[in-house]
């Protein structure tokens, strides 16, 4: 199989598997005071320190969660509740319309159930929020803004946001800015301290770690209202017994993702460029989504719209040829409607139905690119014929 859906999940790194399996047979709750508990706590804290170093953060800023979705919800809902509790006038929530559904649906929920007034930040044709757009939105009335959330890099079309510039604007008005950095971590230079963000989401299984583990990197001055109540194990903002094996594996994957990032970007970026060239040669009217400048998109992302096609049909035709890709986020796979991300860029709804995302990773090879080059032309032709019948 040519696996080209690494943005959905990427294979675990052997080193992460080894770190995880080494902990699976060791007993101990990291919150217990006896020797077994202290041993587990040491493993967790060493993992926290390693992950913090990889992310340019302090260990005390790393809050472990059960994944990126929980971290996004804790940031968006928790910060909104905390800011509104401190000042009831702060009910305006600024968000980009191209966010992952973990953020998007949390924002909608706050609007439906908690009285949030949501303002969607405009994006350009590449799906990018400009600092000027954020400034204009906040400046309407800085006193009523609870928070802003703009992802670091888009999971569907690969566009990279100007996070540092956005954070500078938000800081001018004392507005906390959260960024979902799930796709950015391991592909781009991610430095929490340098970014100026208030909070940042990362996930284990997108960088070669296990499923079910993520983190919210949270500035020490922020205390979001918890989603979960219990033991308050993580800074009193997240409760739940710490998953020591997953933390150990996540930390190893994060350390390796950071250490190998430059080589990954160079090598996988070259494969991505070759894939883009192959697809556009085989299907000349295919339209590249996101920023066409390689410097403005994730090195592992190639997103296309194919006129006259249904994306699901193309996906299944390629799957029959042993090529795994997606029409967008795995969280919305099978949903018979155009991607909200693609629509937000101004793409015609009919064209937005015919999209495919090829996302590469640490196991990708030139053979994968060649497989797509061979299969994509006939698949598009067949999909178009089916659409006319």
Nearest 5°: CA angle at 92, between 90 and 95? 135
- How would you classify the pairing of strands 301-305 and 355-359? antiparallel
Q: Cα–Cα distance between 155 and 117 in angstroms, integer?
A: 25
Q: Cα–Cα distance between 31 and 135 in angstroms, integer?
A: 44
Q: Cα–Cα distance between 381 and 271 in angstroms, integer?
A: 24
State how far the alpha carbon of 42 is from the alpha carbons of 5, 33, 388, in Å.
35, 12, 62
Q: Cα–Cα distance between 46 and 13 in angstroms, integer?
A: 19
Give SS3 for 149.
strand
Q: 375 Cβ partners below 8 Å, 6+ apart?
A: 317, 318, 321, 323
Nearest to 357 by CA among 378, 381, 374, 332: 332
309 belongs to the catalytic site: no
The burial of 101, by beta-carbon neighbours within 10 Å (0-12 exposed, 13-18 middle, 19 or more buried), is given as middle
Q: Quote the strand ranges of 164-222, DSSP E.
A: 177-180, 199-203, 214-218
Q: Cα–Cα distance between 46 and 190 in angstroms, integer?
A: 20
Query: Do residues 158 and 297 make contact, with C-beta atoms less than 8 angstroms apart?
Result: yes
Which of 22, 26, 331, 333 does the annotation list as catalytic?
331
Q: Which two tokens stand for residue 121?
A: 């930040």
Q: Which two tokens stand for residue 126?
A: 């590449």
Give the residue numbers marked as catalytic.
Answer: 331
């Amino acid at each position: 199989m040519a696996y080209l859906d690494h943005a959905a999940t990427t294979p675990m790194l052997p080193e992460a598997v080894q770190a995880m399996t080494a902990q699976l047979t060791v007993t101990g709750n990291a919150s217990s005071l006896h020797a077994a508990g202290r041993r587990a706590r040491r493993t967790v804290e060493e993992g926290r320190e390693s992950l913090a170093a990889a992310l340019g953060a302090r260990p005390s800023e790393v809050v472990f969660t059960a994944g990126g979705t929980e971290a996004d919800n804790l940031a968006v809902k928790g910060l909104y509740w905390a800011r509104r509790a401190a000042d009831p006038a702060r009910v305006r929530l600024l968000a980009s319309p191209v966010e992952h559904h973990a953020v998007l649906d949390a924002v909608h929920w706050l609007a439906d159930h908690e009285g949030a007034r949501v303002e969607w930040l405009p994006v350009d044709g590449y799906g990018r929020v400009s600092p000027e757009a954020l400034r204009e939105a906040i400046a309407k009335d800085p006193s009523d803004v609870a928070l802003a959330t703009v992802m670091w890099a888009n999971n569907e079309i690969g566009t990279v946001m100007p996070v540092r510039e956005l954070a500078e604007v938000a800081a001018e008005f004392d507005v906390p800015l959260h960024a979902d950095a799930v796709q950015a971590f391991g592909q781009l230079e991610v430095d929490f301290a340098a970014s100026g963000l208030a909070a940042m989401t990362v996930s284990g299984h997108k960088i070669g770690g296990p499923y079910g583990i993520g983190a919210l990197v949270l500035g020490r001055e922020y205390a979001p209202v918890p989603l979960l109540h219990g033991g308050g194990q993580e800074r009193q903002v997240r409760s739940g017994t710490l998953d020591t094996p997953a933390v150990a594996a996540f930390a190893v994957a994060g350390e390796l993702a950071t250490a190998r990032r430059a080589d990954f970007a160079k090598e996988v970026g070259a494969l991505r460029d070759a894939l883009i060239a192959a697809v556009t040669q085989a299907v000349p009217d295919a339209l590249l989504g996101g920023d066409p400048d390689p410097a403005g998109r994730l090195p592992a992302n190639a997103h296309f719209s194919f006129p006259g096609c249904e994306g699901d049909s193309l996906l299944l035709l390629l799957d029959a040829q042993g090529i795994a890709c997606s029409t967008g986020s795995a969280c919305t796979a099978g949903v018979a409607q155009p991607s909200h991300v693609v629509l937000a860029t101004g793409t015609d709804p009919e064209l937005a139905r015919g999209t495919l995302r090829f996302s590469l990773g640490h196991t990708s090879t030139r053979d994968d690119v060649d497989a797509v080059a061979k299969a994509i032309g006939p698949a598009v032709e067949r999909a178009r014929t089916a659409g006319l019948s």
